[in-house]
């Protein structure tokens, strides 16, 4: 048995996304810089009587736009479609071949060394929608189910494959099939931090040498009567029905919750040695990952932000960055923070407190923003898309804004890049970004994403 190196450096070589602001990275990124929001009335079901009747919906997809033969994926749920489209984009950018042109695939990778780690949402919502629309017993007008008719129809007509599709790991299985990934395969469902955790854990798999390449990210949709109702009951959603385009207002004194979104983000991660061997171009490097639990109430963040603080400190420590470290221009060495920034009263103030606890007097010198103010909250997919935003910040030297920040909350007194993008190239651009994700149940995950600087690390 060959002895593996103790730790490998991990680079990002491909990125892809499906979001309410576009079905590719370039479109989404330009929309963020333009300050567009992806919010509008819910069209997937009748939400007229809901206190929140709007969301950030992603476009409907035709997988033939990404795959030469999409027939194996007929009938998959929306979140799986989002994942498949995003994965195809990332795979192609990484130089691994174009799934729409199978003859272009390159035999550069050992399938048994290619793994997947996703933070993918529940398939049960798509399953419930199938039950309502395809089986007898559902009265759409009365919104009731005749249990006897439903049970008979389910027994006689229910597809075994359709039953499997409700399992949250099915998205993982479809992506593995589409790209021929036969290595380590994992799915986590840790609420709004799931895809950040997936990227971090995939990085750890690569660092210890258990794979050469990992497809990591997440996909989710909860724009469905059950999903929307649940978040309304949690008082997490904005109810600003009279001003939908400006409903999400992170860090603003008049914030009243987030706008539910949907979509996916996927990254191709590789060991540096593997990427170099096949001539791939690193887009950025994952240099730190931190994870913690609040050990508090499942619906609330610890008021002092201790869990978030632990997560950030662990990620910084792994990246070899001290909270007081600065670059050659005297800036804190973290040049940008992608805030979790949901727009709920508790989250924004507690995240601000946690960042102050980590960086002390220098916290106000670090620009940060919440793209949820434009994309909405993509739930399990949010962290992966926000990691992609960090990669774009590193490449362009431009920071996306926090939209609708016209009335800052005095408690939220850091630099949130209000309303307009910020070009920081004149002061050295973005060398290192930190991305935060916090989830219901008390999960906290943080990534440190750095500019790839060859062998200098």
- Asked whether residue 24 falls in the same domain as residue 137, the answer is yes
Residue 178 burial (CB < 10 Å; 0-12/13-18/19+)?
Answer: buried
Q: Residues 188, 335, 340, 390: which is the catalytic one?
A: 340
DSSP of 245-310: GG---TTBTT---BPBB-EEEEEEEEEHHHHHHTT----EEEEEEEEEE--S-TTS--TT-HHHHH
**CATH number (domain holding residue 198):** 3.40.47.10
Cα–Cα distance measured from residue 24 to residue 248, given in angstroms and rounded to the nearest whole number: 23
CA dihedral 22, 25, 28, 29 (to 10 degrees): -170
Cα–Cα distance measured from residue 451 to residue 285, given in angstroms and rounded to the nearest whole number: 6
Domain boundary among 277, 305, 333: 277
The answer to whether the beta carbons of residues 314 and 216 sit under 8 Å apart is no
3-class SS at 166?
A: coil
Is 174 annotated as catalytic? Answer: no
Print pLDDT tens along the chain (457 aa).
344 445 899 999 999 999 999 999 999 999 999 999 999 999 988 899 999 999 999 999 999 999 999 999 988 888 999 999 999 999 999 999 999 987 766 567 999 999 999 998 765 555 555 555 555 555 656 556 666 766 666 556 555 555 555 667 889 999 999 999 999 999 998 989 999 999 999 999 999 999 999 999 999 999 988 889 999 999 999 999 999 999 999 999 999 999 999 999 999 999 999 999 999 999 999 999 999 998 888 777 888 889 999 999 999 999 999 999 999 989 999 999 999 999 999 999 999 999 999 999 999 999 999 999 999 999 999 999 999 999 999 999 999 999 999 999 999 999 999 999 999 999 999 999 999 999 888 899 999 999 999 875 5
Distances (CA, A) of 322 to 194, 259, 313: 26, 35, 9
Q: Residues 377, 390, 393, 412: which is the catalytic one?
A: 377
Q: Is residue 335 part of a domain?
A: yes
Question: Which range of residues forms the domain containing residue 213?
Answer: 10-277
- Asked whether residue 271 falls in the same domain as residue 295, the answer is no
Q: Residues 17, 188, 192, 393: which is the catalytic one?
A: 192
Is 192 annotated as catalytic? Answer: yes
- Asked whether residue 136 falls in the same domain as residue 200, the answer is yes
Number of domains, the chain? 2
- Asked whether residue 161 falls in the same domain as residue 63, the answer is yes
Domain boundary among 223, 250, 277: 277
Cα–Cα distance measured from residue 11 to residue 286, given in angstroms and rounded to the nearest whole number: 6
Is 340 annotated as catalytic? Answer: yes
Domain boundary among 252, 277, 302: 277
């Amino acid at each position: 048995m060959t002895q593996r190196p103790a730790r490998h450096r991990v680079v990002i070589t491909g990125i892809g996304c499906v979001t309410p602001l576009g079905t590719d990275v370039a479109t989404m990124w330009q929309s963020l810089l333009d300050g567009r929001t992806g919010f509008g009335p819910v069209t997937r079901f009748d939400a007229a009587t809901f206190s929140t009747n709007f969301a950030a919906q992603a476009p409907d997809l035709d997988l033939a736009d990404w795959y030469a033969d999409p027939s194996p994926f007929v009938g998959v749920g929306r979140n799986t479609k989002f994942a498949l489209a995003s994965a195809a984009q990332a795979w192609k950018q990484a130089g691994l071949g174009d799934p729409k042109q199978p003859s272009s695939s390159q035999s550069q990778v050992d399938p048994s060394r290619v793994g997947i780690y996703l933070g993918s949402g529940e398939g049960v919502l798509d399953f419930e929608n199938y039950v309502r629309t395809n089986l007898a017993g559902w009265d759409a007008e009365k919104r009731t189910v005749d249990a006897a008719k439903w049970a008979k129809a389910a027994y006689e007509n229910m597809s075994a494959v359709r039953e499997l599709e409700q399992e949250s790991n099915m998205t993982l299985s479809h992506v593995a099939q589409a790209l021929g990934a036969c290595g380590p395969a994992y799915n986590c469902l840790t609420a709004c931090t799931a895809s950040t955790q997936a990227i971090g854990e995939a990085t750890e798999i690569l660092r210890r040498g258990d794979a050469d390449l990992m497809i990591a990210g997440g996909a989710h949709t909860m724009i469905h009567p059950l999903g929307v109702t649940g978040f309304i009951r949690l008082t997490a959603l904005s109810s600003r029905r009279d001003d939908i385009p400006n409903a999400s207002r992170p860090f603003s004194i008049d914030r009243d919750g987030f706008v539910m979104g949907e979509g996916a983000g996927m990254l191709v991660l590789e060991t540096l040695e593997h990427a170099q061997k096949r001539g791939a171009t690193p887009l950025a490097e994952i240099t730190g990952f931190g994870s913690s639990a609040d050990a508090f109430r499942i619906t609330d963040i610890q008021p002092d932000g201790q869990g978030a603080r632990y997560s950030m400190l662990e990620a910084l420590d792994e990246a070899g960055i001290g909270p007081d470290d600065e670059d050659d221009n005297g800036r804190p060495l973290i040049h940008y923070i992608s805030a979790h920034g949901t727009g709920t009263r508790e989250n924004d103030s507690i995240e601000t407190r946690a960042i102050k606890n980590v960086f002390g007097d220098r916290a106000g010198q670090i620009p940060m923003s919440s793209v949820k103010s434009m994309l909405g909250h993509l739930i399990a997919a949010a962290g992966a898309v926000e990691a992609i935003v960090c990669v774009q910040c590193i490449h362009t030297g431009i920071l996306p804004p926090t939209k609708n920040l016209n009335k800052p909350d005095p408690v939220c007194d850091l630099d949130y890049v209000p309303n307009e993008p910020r070009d920081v190239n004149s002061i050295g651009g973005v060398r290192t970004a930190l991305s935060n994700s916090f989830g219901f149940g008390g999960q906290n995950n943080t990534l440190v994403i750095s500019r790839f600087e060859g062998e200098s690390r």
